[in-house]
Structure 1
Amino acid sequence: MPDAGARTIDLPSLANAEDLLGHNGGTLGVLPRDTLALLLLASGALADRLAELDRATSYASVLRPTWTALAALAPEAIGQQAEVSPEDTGSHTDPQTSETVNNAGRYTAFGTSAGQWTWVDGGGLGAKLSISGALQELSGPLAGTARTNLGAASQAAMDAAEAAIATKASQAAMSAAEAAIATKAGQDDLDALTGVVGGKADAAAVQALDVRTESIEMRIQTLDPDFAGFSYAVADADGTALVIYDLEGQLVISEPDEDVFDPDFSEAIWAVVGQNDLVAQLLRRDGSMAFPGGMGTDTYRVTDIDGDFSENVLTVVDRDDKVLQRIDRAGNVYFPASDQDGSSKPAPTVRRPRVHETLALDINHHVMNGQSNSIGSATYLPVSDPQDVAFSGGIFLQAEETANTLVGIGTVTPEQGIIWNAIQQMKFLIQGSDDYSADEDYEAGDYVILPSSHGTSGASIANLSKGGSTGSYEDALHGVDEAVRLAAAEGKATAVQSLSWVQGESDRYDTAAEYKTKLQAMLADYRADIAARTGQSHDFIVLIYQPSGNQYSFPTGELVPNTIAQAIFEASEEDPRIIIAAPMYQAPHADALHPTSAGKQLVGMQWGKVLYKRVYRGEDWRPVEPRRITKHSARVITIKFHVPEAPLLFDTTNVVDPGDYGFTVEDDSGFVSIASVDLINSDTVRITTSTDIGTNPKLGYAYYGIGGNGGGPITGARGCLRDSDPTVGADGSTNLWNWAETFQKPIPYVKGA
Structure 2
Amino acid sequence: MALNNTGNPVPSASPLDRADNTLIFDELVTAQNKDEVPSRLGDPLKTWHKIQKGIEEQLIAGGHIFSDEPTGRAAVENDQYFFSQSADPNVSKTLWKRLSISESEFIANDPSALPFELLKPSENDAQEYAWVLVDENGRAAIGVKDDGTFEAFSLAIGSSETGALTPELAQKYAWAIIDSDGRVAIGVRRDGSFEAANLSGRSAISSVPGLYTHQLNFIINAGQSLGEGSDGAITTTQEYDNVGFPARSLNPSSYLPLTVANTQVGTRGESPMYGTLGHIKQLILQESGLAYPQNDYQLLTANNCYGGTPIVDLSKGGATGAYEQSISQIESGTLIALNEGRSFTLQAVTWTQGERDIVDGTLRDDYLASLLALQRDYNEDAKLVTGQFNDVVLITYQTCREGSQETVASAQLAASEISPHIFLACPTYQLSFYDFQHIDAASSKVLGGYYGLVYKRVIIDQKEWEPLKPIGSACVGSAIDLFFNKSGLTLDVTNIPLQPNYGFSVVDALGDALTISAVRIISPNRVRLEVASPAQPEWRVRYGWNNAQDRSDAFTGGCGNLRDSQGDSLTYEGFPLHNWCVIFEYEV
TM-score, structure 2 normalization: 0.60
2:254 aligned residue (402, 405, 424) = 405
Is residue 512 from structure 1 mapped to residue 355 from structure 2 by the alignment?
no
Deviations 1:176-202 (A, max 9, x none): xxxxxxxxxxxxxxxxxxxxxxxxxxx
Deviation at 1:574, TM superposition (A): 0.9
Q: 1:666 to 1:302 in 2, by over 3 A?
A: farther
Corresponding residue for residue 57 of structure 2: none
Number of residue pairs aligned between Structure 1 and Structure 2: 391
- 5+ unaligned residues in a row in structure 1: which ranges? 1-64, 67-85, 89-284, 289-299, 310-318, 322-352, 552-559, 748-753
**Alignment match, 2:524:** 682
Three-state SS of the structure 2 residue aligned to 1:700 is: strand
Residues 631 and 510 of structure 1: CA distance in aligned 2, closer, same or farther (over 3 Å): farther
Q: CA deviation at 1:594?
A: 0.5
The alignment status of 1:363 with 2:216, answered yes or no, reads: yes
Tell me the residue number matched to 1:578: 422
Aligned counterparts of 2:584 and 2:552: Cα–Cα separation in 1? 16
Q: 1:561 to 1:613 in 2, by over 3 A?
A: closer
Which deviations, in whole Å up to 9, do the C-alpha atoms of 1:578-616 show, x marking residues without a partner? 111110111111111111122212212222222222222
Aligned equivalent of 2:458: 614
2:242 paired residue number: 388
For 1:31-61, what per-residue CA distance to the aligned partner results, in whole angstroms no more than 9, with x for missing partners? xxxxxxxxxxxxxxxxxxxxxxxxxxxxxxx
Query: Would the aligned equivalents of 2:258 and 2:274 in 1 still touch at CA under 8 Å?
Result: no
Alpha-carbon distance in structure 1 between the residues aligned to 2:322 and 2:513: 42
Q: Which residues in structure 2 correspond to 1:324-335 (within 5 Å)?
A: none
Aligned residue type for 2:394: V
Partner of 1:524: 376
Structure index of larger Rg:
1
Quickly say closer, same or farther: Cα 1:440–1:601, change in 2 above 3 A: closer
- Partner letter of residue 275 of structure 2? N
Contact 1:649/1:722 (<8 A) preserved: yes
Q: Give the Cα–Cα distance (whole angstroms) in 1 for the partners of residues 409 and 550 of structure 2.
A: 16
- Give the distance between the partners of 1:286 and 1:480, measured in 2 at CA: 49
Query: C-alpha displacement at 1:511, in angstroms?
Result: 2.7
Corresponding position of 2:557:
716
Correspondence for 2:576 among 707, 732, 735: 735
Q: Is residue 371–residue 458 contact of structure 1 (8 Å, CA) maintained in 2? A: yes
Counterparts of 1:485 and 1:467, CA distance in 2: 24
Matches within 5 A, 1:301-380: 358=211, 360-377=213-230, 378-380=232-234
Q: Map of 1:572-721 to 2, 5 A cutoff?
A: 572-633=416-477, 635-643=478-486, 646-669=487-510, 670-705=512-547, 715-721=556-562
CA gap of 1:444–1:709, structure 2 versus 1, over 3 A, is: same
Q: Conserved in 2, the CA contact under 8 Å of 1:628 and 1:641?
A: yes
1:204-261 Cα shifts (integer Å, max 9, x gaps): xxxxxxxxxxxxxxxxxxxxxxxxxxxxxxxxxxxxxxxxxxxxxxxxxxxxxxxxxx
What SS does the aligned partner of 2:383 have? helix
**How much does 1:416 deviate?**
4.9
Cα 1:590–1:656 shift into 2, 3 Å: same
Partner SS for 2:306: coil
Asked whether the 8 Å contact 1:386–1:408 carries over to 2, the reply is: no
Task: Give the conservation status (yes or no) of the 8 Å contact 1:364–1:449.
Answer: yes
Amino acid paired to 1:604: G
* Distance (whole Å) between structure 2 residues aligned to residue 372 and residue 610 of structure 1: 21
Tell me if structure 1 keeps the 8 A contact 2:378–2:392: no
User: 1:587 touches 1:713 (CA, 8 Å); kept in 2?
Assistant: no
> What are the Cα deviations for residues 264-314 of structure 1, in whole angstroms up to 9, with x where unaligned?
xxxxxxxxxxxxxxxxxxxxx9999xxxxxxxxxxx99969xx999xxxxx
- Alpha-carbon distance in 2 for matches of 1:519, 1:641: 25
Identity of counterpart residues, as a percentage? 25
SS in 2 for 1:657: coil
The CA distance in 2 between the partners of 1:413 and 1:441, in whole Å, is: 24
Alignment RMSD: 3.6
Q: Is the 8 A contact 2:244 2:255 kept in 1?
A: yes
2-structure distance, mates of 1:630, 1:739: 22
Contact 1:362–1:447 under 8 Å retained in 2: yes
Tell me the distance in 1 between the aligned counterparts of 2:550 and 2:386: 44
Q: 2:32 matched to which residue of 1? A: none
Q: Is the 8 A contact 1:660 1:676 kept in 2?
A: yes
Quote the Cα distance in structure 2 between the aligned partners of 1:535 and 1:711.
50
**1:495 paired residue number:** 345
Q: How does 1:121-140 map to 2 (within 5 A)?
A: none
